[in-house]
Amino acid sequence: MYNRIRLIVAASTAALALMAAPAAVAGEQARYVPPGTVLEGSVETSTEAVVFPSGLDGRLLVRSCEGCAHSNIQLDAQTQFTLAGQVVSLRDMAQYALRNPGHALTIHYRLSDTVASRVTVLVR
């Protein structure tokens, strides 16, 4: 009986240690970025104000963007396009924006290199 309890305690301790390992790694990674560090910027505009490129190697152009730090934002293969909560292609997003002016569009970009991480359109 005593050996069975020792085995259960040892197994539980090992399981807890394995569960804590990812948290420790995440904690180490979090130390590299001070709390409150801003990693992304965004441009809030509308569907009619954005000119979409033909491919993911192009740039988004935001027209009439007075006061914007960046009105020309690079895309890459990891840029995600979200339309009404659904992930869509660049082509689908561009077609929707062209056909549906006046919808809120937000471009999120990394401050480190001004590459868009995601483009989001909310549909009313």
Report the pLDDT value the prediction gives residue 11, as an integer from 0 to 100.
Answer: 43
Report the pLDDT value the prediction gives residue 53, as an integer from 0 to 100.
Answer: 97
- Cα separation, 82 vs 90, in Å, equals 10
The residue with greater pLDDT, 74 or 65, is 74
The residue with greater pLDDT, 123 or 102, is 102
Q: What is the DSSP string of 5-31?
A: HHHHHHHHHHHHHHHHHHHHHHHHHHH
**pLDDT category, 123, cuts 50, 70, 90?**
confident
- pTM to 2 decimals? 0.70
Give me the mean pLDDT over the 5-22 stretch: 47
Please, which residues bridge with residue 118 across strands?
80, 108
Residue with tokens 């505009």: 45
Give domain limits for the chain: 1-37, 40-121
The answer, yes or no, to whether residue 91 has pLDDT greater than 90, is yes
Give me the mean pLDDT over the 85-107 stretch: 96
